[in-house]
Amino acid sequence: MHPEPREVHEAGGTPPLTLPRELWTKMSREHQAACQAAEELIGTFSASNTVLLREIFTRSTLGAERALAGLRVLQGMDLVNVEATEDGPLVKLVAVPEEHVRIVGPDRQVRWLLVSRPLETPEVDPSTMN
Residue 85 has pLDDT above 50, yes or no: yes
Taking the C-alpha atoms of residue 56 and residue 91, their distance in angstroms, rounded to an integer, is 9
**Is beta strand 80-83 parallel, antiparallel or unpaired with respect to 95-104?**
unpaired
Residue 2 has pLDDT above 70, yes or no: no
Taking the C-alpha atoms of residue 31 and residue 70, their distance in angstroms, rounded to an integer, is 9
**Is beta strand 50-52 parallel, antiparallel or unpaired with respect to 90-93?**
antiparallel
Which is nearest to 114 in space by CA: 97, 92, 94? 97
Which fold would CATH assign to domain 5-119?
Arc Repressor Mutant, subunit A (1.10.10)
pLDDT value, residue 8? 53
Residue 5 has pLDDT above 70, yes or no: no
Q: How far is CA 41 from CA 18, 28, 58, in A?
A: 14, 20, 11
Q: pLDDT per residue over 86-101, tens digit each?
A: 999 999 999 999 999 9
3-state secondary structure at position 95: strand
Residue 4 has pLDDT above 70, yes or no: no
Q: CB under 8 Å to 5, separation ≥6 — which residues?
A: 27, 29, 32, 33, 35, 36
